[in-house]
Amino acid sequence: MTSNQAAADPTLTPAWAELAALAAALDGTTIRALCEGDPQRLDSLAWTGAGVSLDATRQRVTPDVVAALLRLAQERDVLARRDQMLAGGHINVTEDRAVLHTALRAPAGSALVVDGQDVSADVQDVLARMSAFADDVRSGAWMGASGQRISAVVNIGIGGSDLGPAMAYLALRHFSDRDMTFRFVSNVDPTDMVEALHGLDPAETLVIVASKTFTTLETMSNAHAARDWVVGALGEDAVSRHFVAVSTNAELVERFGIDTANMFGFWDWVGGRYSMDSSIGLSTMIAIGPAGFRDLLAGFHAMDVHFASAPAEANLPLLMGLLAVWNRNFLGIQMTAVLPYSQYLSRFPAYLQQLTMESNGKSVRLDGAPVGYDTGAVFWGEPGTNGQHSFYQLLHQGTTTVACDVIVVARSDNPLGDQQDMLVANALAQASVLSMGRTSAEVAADGTPAALVPHKVMPGNRPVSVIMVESLRPHALGALVALYEHSVFTQGAVWGIDSFDQWGVELGKKVAMGILGDLRAGSADDPVLDGPTRASVERYLAMRG
């Protein structure tokens, strides 16, 4: 084995072999037994940082496993790669780009020059322009073409240009301007646009078109539909007062009718799924105000600083990412359910789906060789307690083991009797039963008839992390998102994959354009189409009429 092979393939490292042996030794050992057998576990497997608590005592690990995972991180140069990312190194190798979403939330006065450009100065310039514009909209200084105050904001984007702003608006709705309506359009399905515009007055509506290239098919189709809606009511000259752009393509923005003075740029070192704290967050800033948005950025930055400086054995994102590697590669767990016990976080699982699965859904290493091991897990989820009356049955008693992240907000911004305590009681109860289970003896001791005992046994042994924040302020949301961002980075660094490209989504777009040409022509004559696709096109054309 050469040193280059060891660097490329994590399975060739000593720590990987050690972890495989530890997993074999733990086979048949339950989380309950681990907790009962180690009173110190409550201290050794719970950490805090940047206002976030991560309790991994219900994970199927021992301190020896954690120590071996930290050795794996060392052998895989995870922290060196972290430092390279933070310094602006081109760690997105397939696109030869820096990965600098952390620069978006660095405080004013920070110095970072990358490829000869002062990145920090650029970021602060855009933030200042965003803040001035958001203040104008919120105060009424920015008015529509007919002199009416803006009362509704429609954000048009897709992927990271939608999921981040939509998630953040819902998460921080308590802090938003309740006199304004915010809606988000992403799907090219015309229903999405029609429903988003329903009941709005074009004279009081501001549309944000978020597309870096200003060519994204779904986004621009929806943008032109919104443009027709505004022009039909207010005339062509109204476009410049009712549309702004988050883009880098000044030519196409101007051709659309948007004043380029109202174009807010960002950079190729910002991936879509890492962009909610860039100008993509303009709708968030309008909703919660520039001060609230800067508090959000401060929360991101606090977790960035923790990731950059905390010792490995107490570094939340590093440990969270390593536990994910343990569950995926050594326990064979293919899925993680994100279970936020906060209605405000209802879109957080969907946001994490893109962050984690687009980043680490890769089957090729950085060196171009196929991976010989599992990479990114499937992420999904719903807020509690709704999920308890839906899919938790499979989590508790199904034949597929699913790891779970239970997210708890300690203080509610909407106190209502003892309902917050009721909510948290459910969260902690589910974490307990998922991990500890309930034996047949315990079920029988409750007086359960013998025939029903096997039906009420809870196997437990489902790995659970309990992630807790004091309250869902903008600062806490920023820290929570950054925790997951850096956990995703850690996993990708261990696996030796590029967590910052997304070639898997590109081919489908290209093929779709070819099929669209056939649909517009009303025929399926394209020789490039495979047989089943040609048949589906013909069937669709027949049904469409």
The whole domain housing 258 covers 109-289
For residue 206, the cross-strand partners are 153
Three-class SS of residue 81?
A: helix
Closest CA to 494 of 378, 324, 273: 324
Domain end residue (candidates: 289, 320, 351): 289
Q: What is the pLDDT of residue 505?
A: 86
Is residue 500 in a domain?
Answer: no
Q: Kindly report, residue by residue over 10-35, the tens digit of the pLDDT.
A: 999 999 999 999 999 999 999 999 99
Closest CA to 340 of 430, 461, 434, 475: 430
The pair of three-digit structure tokens given for residue 534, joined into one six-digit string: 């040609």
- Does residue 415 contact residue 535 with C-beta atoms inside 8 Å? no
In a shared domain, residues 441 and 510: no
Percent of the chain clearing pLDDT 90 (strictly above): 90
Mean pLDDT, residues 436-459 taken together: 97
In a shared domain, residues 50 and 156: no
* Active-site residue, selected from the candidate residues 358, 396, 475, 486: 358
In a shared domain, residues 336 and 227: no
Q: Is the pLDDT of residue 326 over 50?
A: yes
Confidence of residue 435 (pLDDT cuts 50, 70, 90): very high
Q: Is the pLDDT of residue 36 over 50?
A: yes
Domain end residue (candidates: 459, 475, 495): 495
* Active-site residue, selected from the candidate residues 198, 251, 389, 510: 389
Any catalytic annotation for residue 358? yes
Is residue 83 in a domain?
Answer: no
Mean pLDDT, residues 303-313 taken together: 98
In a shared domain, residues 337 and 232: no
In a shared domain, residues 353 and 273: no
Mean pLDDT, residues 323-340 taken together: 98
Q: Is the pLDDT of residue 3 over 50?
A: no
Task: For residue 208, give the DSSP letter.
Answer: E
Any idea which residue has 């190798």 for tokens? 93
In a shared domain, residues 171 and 270: yes
Q: Cα 542 to the chain's mean position, in Å?
A: 40
Mean pLDDT, residues 486-503 taken together: 97
Is residue 458 in a domain?
Answer: yes
- Does residue 163 contact residue 351 with C-beta atoms inside 8 Å? yes
Any catalytic annotation for residue 204? no
Look up the CATH number of the domain holding residue 152: 3.40.50.10490
Mean pLDDT, residues 83-101 taken together: 96
Q: Kindly report, residue by residue over 148-164, the tens digit of the pLDDT.
A: 999 999 999 999 999 99
Is residue 82 in a domain?
Answer: no
In a shared domain, residues 65 and 124: no
Domain end residue (candidates: 237, 257, 289): 289
Between 115-119, 143-147, 394-398, 402-406, the lowest mean confidence (pLDDT) is in: 115-119
Q: Kindly report, residue by residue over 229-239, the tens digit of the pLDDT.
A: 999 999 999 99
Is residue 342 in a domain?
Answer: yes
In a shared domain, residues 539 and 486: no
What are the residues whose beta carbons fall under 8 Å from the beta carbon of 96, sequence distance 6 or more?
Answer: 90
Is residue 298 in a domain?
Answer: no
- Does residue 229 contact residue 185 with C-beta atoms inside 8 Å? no
Q: In the predicted model, what is the mean pLDDT of the chain?
A: 95
In a shared domain, residues 475 and 517: no
Q: Is the pLDDT of residue 5 over 60?
A: no
Q: How many domains does the chain have?
A: 3
In a shared domain, residues 409 and 444: yes
Confidence of residue 2 (pLDDT cuts 50, 70, 90): very low
- What is the torsional sign of CA 212, 218, 222, 227? positive
Q: Is the pLDDT of residue 373 over 50?
A: yes
Between 99-113, 359-373, 408-422, 522-536, the lowest mean confidence (pLDDT) is in: 522-536
Is residue 100 in a domain?
Answer: no
Q: What is the pLDDT of residue 66?
A: 98
* Active-site residue, selected from the candidate residues 195, 313, 470, 509: 509
What are the residues whose beta carbons fall under 8 Å from the beta carbon of 514, sequence distance 6 or more?
Answer: 526, 528, 529
Burial of residue 449 (CB within 10 Å: 0-12, 13-18, 19+) is exposed
d(CA 370, CA 107): 40
Tally DSSP H helices, then E strands, for the chain: 23, 13
In a shared domain, residues 318 and 273: no
Q: What is the pLDDT of residue 508?
A: 85
Q: Is the pLDDT of residue 287 over 60?
A: yes
Any catalytic annotation for residue 509? yes
Is residue 382 in a domain?
Answer: yes
In a shared domain, residues 234 and 322: no
Q: Is the pLDDT of residue 6 over 60?
A: no
